[in-house]
Amino acid sequence: MNTGLYETIHRRRDVRAQFTGAPIPDETLQRILTAAHAAPSVGLSQPWDFILVRDPELRQEFHRHVERERDTFAATLDGAAAERFARIKIDGVRESTLSVVVTYDPQRGGPAVLGRHAIADAGLYSVCLAIQNLWLAATAEHLGVGWVSFYREPFLRDLLGIPATVRPVAWLCLGPVTHLEQTPDLERHGWRQRRPVSSAIHHDRWTTG
Ligand X SMILES: Cc1cc2nc3c(=O)[nH]c(=O)nc-3n(C[C@H](O)[C@H](O)[C@H](O)COP(=O)(O)O)c2cc1C
Residues binding ligand X (CB under 6 A):
13-14, 16, 90-91, 147-150, 184, 186
Closest CB to ligand X among residues 42, 145: 145
Query: 110 by DSSP, 3-state: which?
Result: coil
Distances in Å between the Cα of 131 and the Cα atoms of 74, 75, 101, 200 are 27, 30, 10, 23
Closest CB to ligand X among residues 109, 176: 176
Closest CB to ligand X among residues 90, 140: 90
Query: 170 by DSSP, 3-state: which?
Result: strand
Burial class (CB in 10 A: 0-12, 13-18, 19+), 143: buried
Closest CB to ligand X among residues 16, 59: 16
Q: Which residue is nearest to ligand X (CB)?
A: 184
CB of 45 to ligand X, least distance (A): 20
CB of 191 to ligand X, least distance (A): 8
CB of 67 to ligand X, least distance (A): 12
**Sign of the alpha-carbon dihedral angle for 122, 158, 16, 11:** positive
CB of 112 to ligand X, least distance (A): 29
Distances in Å between the Cα of 61 and the Cα atoms of 20, 69, 123, 170 are 20, 13, 29, 16
CB of 206 to ligand X, least distance (A): 23
| 107 touches 50 (CB < 8 A) | no
| 51 touches 100 (CB < 8 A) | yes
CB of 108 to ligand X, least distance (A): 21
Closest CB to ligand X among residues 30, 149: 149
Phi, psi of 169, deg, nearest 5: -105, -35
Closest CB to ligand X among residues 149, 178: 149
